[in-house]
Each structure stands twice: as structure tokens, then as C-alpha cells.
Amino acid sequence: MAKRDYYEILGVSKDADERTIKKAYRKLARKHHPDASDESPEVAEEKFKEISEAYEVLADSEKRGRYDRFGHKGVDFGGGGFSWDQFSHGGDVSDIFGQLFGGGQRGGMGDIFSQFFGGGQRGPDNRGDDLRYDITMTLKEAHSGMEKEVEIPRNGNCHKCSGSGAAEGGSAKTCNTCGGQGMVRKMVRRSFIQTITTDNCSDCRGSGKIIDKPCGDCRGSGIVAVKKKIKLRIPPGADDGFRLRMRGQGSAGPNNGPKGDLYIVVNVEPHKIFHRQDNEIILDLELTPAQAVLGDSLKVPTLSGDVKLKIPTGTQSGDVLRLRGKGMPDITRPSSKGSQHVRITVKMPKPNSKTKKMWEELRELDSESPSFLDRMRDKFG
């Protein structure tokens, strides 16, 4: 198959300057990177390799000069054609993959690029694991906030060796397998991108060090399983699904590595009578016809205890009465609280011998003033 023109591959003109070429390459690299592209990995990788080969030549004034004069013959990459170890411009795109995959994210493309192309080197990856702890609260507890001591199973530093992993008189040497990096790079030949993976070094378990006389309690890891008592403070106003991050309260890392984080995930149980909508609370209240017509003063429950509620005369079914400040506190500003909304329903009673008479009298009165239907008729003809 005839090789495509390098300028055509990058979509630039023959007299394009260095900046234009770099820009074009970066744009295409972003599009065709196998881990970011919509195309199948094989197609994307083929394209990614093609644009990288073109860039390898056009970004280098000497190679570009030879290519301009002699074409593909001028820049022979050897018998097998262009291969990744001949690519010397990884640094020009490694930042793209840093962005694409979230910068410091472990195992992201930025890492692989920088390692493959000899960019930055990272220290031992011996940070402890992040942990998650789920806690269930009633709505009332969520309203007032909660303090609770809980036991979190996690990895802690070994007391016997103070987390070093070495027995008394023992010492730690740099691991030969990974050269103290704590990580090894595995390369499988199937393709360039998908086959370079970094893994914790199994000889030193990611610490970068080998202990000649391991501690008996932790077998050299420096960590042991513990149950740590932690006092949780959930601020007032937590909603279902609220997450609290406690830095450095996760598991300890091997050989005195930094601790991971602990995530507290709050689950708020639904309440029997109070319905929550963000920081607003809704309560349904039934009134008798007399209470609705004549008005009343009642005690109604709220999350902070009973309060007096004035029912105005002539209250209708569907009216909503508001109790300011009786809703949920705002979790970021506990002094600011939502309202409690009291939704009124007027419950019609079945008449008994006594009340039947009174309702009949009421009906008499109704017939003296124009009925609802009569008024509607007047209005709409």
C-alpha cells in the first residue's frame, strides 16, 4: 500500500510553520487516541500511529528537509517501518492525556506517556486505600445533626515496627526489581497503547523497598488490620446521599505510606408524617368543616417540637399554611432553615342524628343565597 503524504495526513500545507504543524498534530492526537476515540481501538490506533509518524518527520527540520526532497525514501524508519520507540515527541502531547484522563489519576494516559517517553518519574505508590462507610439516620437526626462513634475496619500502621515493616535490627533496601519505583511496567506486544500497563511491584508490594528481616506482626508490610474508633459528626441538614470526606482516615499505606481517605455516605430514612423536599418539610393536616369555617388555633408537630398554628377563618381544602424556619437547616449554613408547609384537607363527616338537623338548616340558608350553580349560570349565560 502506498504511503500517504505526511502533510496530507496532518492536514497542513507544504509551507506550514512549526506551530501550525504542532497544533494540527495535537488536535488529531486528541481525536484519535485509542482511549478517547469513538472509533474501534484498532482503527484509532492505526490512525494515531500514522499521524505520529507524520509528526515525527515534519516536526524535525532535518527530517522534514529530507522528506521534502526525497519523499518517504528520505526518512526511512528501517525494515519494520515506523515504530513507537522511534517517536521522540511524546512530550508534545502527554499533557493532552493528562487533561483527558484527569491529570493525576493513577494509570491515566499521562502517566503512561511520561513513563514511556521518559518524562517525569513517580515515587512509590504506597498510598492506603480510600474507604466508604454508610450511615443511616432518621429525618430527626438529619435535622439536628448527629455525633456518633463508629468502628471502621481498616488497615493501620503496625505498632511493633511503627509501620516500617522491618523487625528490630532489620533494615530496608531499595528494591531491585523496580529500582525503588514501587511499580513495574508491563509490556505486551499486541498494541502500543493498550499493552503498557503499570502495576505495583510484586516483590516490594509497591513500597520500593525490600526488608531483609521482616517484622513478624505485619510480615514486612508495615500494616495490620485494625478497627479504628472514629467520632462522626454529621452536620445538621444532611440529605439522603450526602457524602462527607474525612481526609487521611482511610487505610494506612504499606511501609508508612500516606493514609487514604474515608467517605461517609449518609442515608436518611423517610419519615411517617414529614415529607422532605430539599430543605422544605411538608405536613398533611386534616380539619373538620367547623375548624375550617370558623378558624382555630392548633398545636402541630414539627421536627423541632410542637408549635402553635393559627387556622384562619374560611380555610379551604388545599390551602397551605407556612411555618417559617421549621424546615431543615441548610447544611452549609445551619442558621438558615427552610419552612414547614402545612397542607390542609377538610374532612367531611358522616352526619348523625344530631348533626343531620344542623346540616339541613345550613342547606336552608344556602337556598336563600344564590347557589354556586346559579352564580355560574349568571356569569356564562
Provide the 8-state DSSP code for 166. B
- Smallest CA-to-CA distance from 222 within 161, 305, 302 is with 161
Q: Please, are residues 341 and 276 in contact by the beta-carbon 8 Å criterion?
A: no
- Smallest CA-to-CA distance from 183 within 249, 254, 259, 251 is with 254
CB of 214 to Zn ion, least distance (A): 8
CB of 233 to Zn ion, least distance (A): 32
- Smallest CA-to-CA distance from 297 within 287, 281, 311 is with 311
Q: Which is nearer to Zn ion, 4 or 173 (CB)?
A: 173
Chain residues that interact with Zn ion, rule: CB under 5 A = 158, 160-161, 175, 177-178, 201, 203-204, 215, 217-218
Strands (E), the chain: 131-137, 146-157, 172-174, 183-187, 196-200, 209-211, 223-234, 243-246, 262-268, 275-277, 280-287, 296-300, 307-311, 320-323, 329-330, 333-337, 340-346
CB of 156 to Zn ion, least distance (A): 11
Q: Which is nearer to Zn ion, 58 or 218 (CB)?
A: 218
Q: Which is nearer to Zn ion, 177 or 304 (CB)?
A: 177
CB of 27 to Zn ion, least distance (A): 39
CB of 217 to Zn ion, least distance (A): 4
Q: Which is nearer to Zn ion, 218 or 287 (CB)?
A: 218
The sign one gets for the Cα dihedral 42, 43, 49, 50 is positive
Q: Which is nearer to Zn ion, 160 or 228 (CB)?
A: 160
Distance (Å, whole) CA 204 – CA 208: 6
CB of 175 to Zn ion, least distance (A): 3
Distance (Å, whole) CA 160 – CA 207: 19
Q: Which is nearer to Zn ion, 159 or 245 (CB)?
A: 159
